[in-house]
Amino acid sequence: MSSKIAALLNVKKVPADLQKVLELDITSLKGCDEDTAKVLNQNNIAKIADLIKIESPDKLLKSVESLKIEKLTTAARIINEVATGAKTTEKKIVIAGIDAAGKTSIIQTLLNPQEAKDGKETKSLKPTKGVEYENIELFGYNLSIWDLGGQDIYRKKYLSEPKEHFGYTSLFVFVIDISDTKRTNAALEYLKNIVEIFKYLEEAPVSVVLLHKSDKMKPPDIKKEKTAISKEIQKIFGEIRFFTHVTSIFNFNSIFSAFSESLRELSPVNTIIKNILMNFESKVNAKYISIYNETGICIAENGDDEKELAKNFAFNTILGEELNIFPDQALKLILALKNKKYCTLERIVTKDKEKFFLTYVSPDNPEFISKEPLILEMKPWLDNFF
Ligand SMILES: Nc1nc2c(ncn2[C@@H]2O[C@H](COP(=O)(O)OP(=O)(O)O)[C@@H](O)[C@H]2O)c(=O)[nH]1
Ligand SMILES: [Mg+2]
């Protein structure tokens, strides 16, 4: 953990006692230049600990750019959480849905996309008995996935022990088989029960509903069904924010996109990374940009231009489908699109051999721009993604 903290600081030796780090001058934080420090000092912010207490950053924003302030306050909050032991790297994900909605298949796709792709995904799929946990590693952290059995008797069981099953949830994923229209009502009834439990527990996990098995329907039918179901889902969630994604295990990108977008929401550094990426986007004159890690998780993205194409291109390449055209030693792949645009995919390898993939769509064949500053700026935040 302390190497992650070290990444946020520009001091040679990080004090072992993190409380002492909080007592350091704000200029010990990376990105705190003299001008910024001056403005902050005038507002009685001298130590890192003082940054945690900033209540209205807007007042400071006139003189300091907002990304700078966000970086400094976020770094201070992360250090404070680690110092006080409030930081946990365990994230609890609850995956629920009626039986045969596709929960286990989705988990297996996330765990092993290559195997799922080779048609092995149905190998060990039995109806889930009761509650099962699966721990998967994403971003190097443990995420516990709760695959809640769908059968009636189990459903009653965990609805009667709400705290045990639904307490302290960071991410709630509800899976509906969109092609099984006969059971839509049963699925929605179940969703309603769980959403009510979260309200009762006063918990507000990031919530996402997967309209799954889209491969079994024709696109116009999907659209119609999506509109109808979304209306009902909206009624259930009411004021609570939620996302919906159309997914299929035969479209891995749809599953990874849905999880990437949800996991990003959990990160304290989400907006910082997105802002760094957006600044870079304008440098390469792009209208869509995204950055993936080597497991295929999209860490950040921005823009709309040729988004679907770029995402599929990046995702399939990263997960190896087109390895023959993007061998390990190649760093850059440029796809000329019909409309005189270019989609560029670059492999970026950091000093400690971590791999990232940057994709962007630009109107001209991009000139060479070094990615080192981008990664240097992003790395401390990537290290602290959770
Ligand atoms: N066509 C199609 N079938 C799927 C998809 N996802 C899962 N299935 C199938 O649906 C059945 C039930 O899936 P399973 O993952 O066991 O559902 P669970 O009970 O929610 O865990 C299995 O036969 C899967 O192969 C999908 O996206 N498309
Ligand atoms: Mg299952």
- pLDDT at site 229: 96
CA of 198 to the centre of ligand 2 (A): 22
The residues near 263 (Cβ < 8 Å, ≥ 6 apart) are 138, 139, 171, 297
Q: Which of 18-22, 133-137, 331-335 has the lowest mean pLDDT?
A: 133-137
Under the banding of pLDDT at 50, 70 and 90, the label for residue 123 is very low
DSSP letter for each residue of 122-141: TTT--PPPSEEEEEEEETTE
Is the predicted pLDDT of residue 155 greater than 80, yes or no? no
**Nearest ligand to the C-alpha atom of residue 215:** 1
Q: Residues 6, 379: contact at Cβ < 8 Å?
A: no
- pLDDT at site 116: 60
Ligand 1 contact, 183 CB (< 6 A):
no
Ligand 1 contact, 125 CB (< 6 A):
yes
Under the banding of pLDDT at 50, 70 and 90, the label for residue 141 is low
DSSP letter for each residue of 150-192: -SHHHHHHHHHSHHHHHTT-SEEEEEEETT-GGGHHHHHHHHH
Pairing outcome for strands 131-138 and 141-148: antiparallel
Of residues 119 and 323, more confidence is placed in 323
Report the alpha-carbon angle 157-145-171, nearest 5.
95
Ligand 1 contact, 216 CB (< 6 A):
yes
Residue tagged 């639904």 (tokens): 166
**Pocket-testing residue among 105, 125, 129, 246, ligand 1, by greatest number of atoms within 8 A of Cβ:** 105
Ligand 1 contact, 380 CB (< 6 A):
no
Indicate the pTM of the whole model.
0.85
**Nearest ligand to the C-alpha atom of residue 107:** 1
Ligand 1 contact, 213 CB (< 6 A):
yes
The residues near 191 (Cβ < 8 Å, ≥ 6 apart) are 96, 174, 176, 209, 233, 236
First-to-last C-alpha distance (Å) of the chain: 11
Pairing outcome for strands 288-293 and 298-303: antiparallel
pLDDT, tens digit, 9 for 90 and up, residues 193-248: 999 999 999 999 999 999 999 999 999 999 999 999 999 999 999 999 999 999 99
Number of the ligand 1 atom closest to the C-alpha atom of 107: 15
Ligand 1 contact, 128 CB (< 6 A):
yes
Ligand 1 contact, 212 CB (< 6 A):
yes
Of residues 325 and 375, more confidence is placed in 375
Cα dist. 380→66, 111, 159, 272, 299 in Å?
Answer: 18, 26, 41, 11, 14
- pLDDT at site 128: 63
Of residues 367 and 193, more confidence is placed in 193
- pLDDT at site 122: 47
Task: Quickly list H helices, the chain.
Answer: 2-6, 18-22, 34-42, 48-52, 57-61, 66-83, 103-111, 113-115, 152-160, 162-166, 184-201, 219-237, 252-266, 270-283, 307-318, 372-383
- pLDDT at site 114: 67
- Mean pLDDT of the region 97-119: 80
- pLDDT at site 82: 87
- All structural domains of the chain, each given as residue ranges with its CATH number in brackets, are 2-83 (1.10.150), 91-266 (3.40.50.300), 270-383 (3.30.450.190)
Is the predicted pLDDT of residue 293 greater than 60, yes or no? yes
Is the predicted pLDDT of residue 121 greater than 60, yes or no? no
pLDDT, tens digit, 9 for 90 and up, residues 35-62: 899 989 988 899 999 999 887 777 766 6
Pairing outcome for strands 141-148 and 91-96: parallel
Mean pLDDT, the chain, rounded, equals: 86
Which one, of 174, 198, 196, 197, lies nearest residue 187 by Cα?
A: 174
CA of 121 to the centre of ligand 1 (A): 9
Of residues 81 and 116, more confidence is placed in 81
For ligand 1, atom 13, name the residue with the nearest CA: 102
Under the banding of pLDDT at 50, 70 and 90, the label for residue 65 is confident
Ligand 1 contact, 146 CB (< 6 A):
no
For ligand 1, atom 7, name the residue with the nearest CA: 102
CA distance 267 to 167: 19
- pLDDT at site 138: 65
Of residues 172 and 316, more confidence is placed in 172
CA of 147 to the centre of ligand 2 (A): 6
Under the banding of pLDDT at 50, 70 and 90, the label for residue 186 is very high
Is the predicted pLDDT of residue 351 greater than 60, yes or no? yes
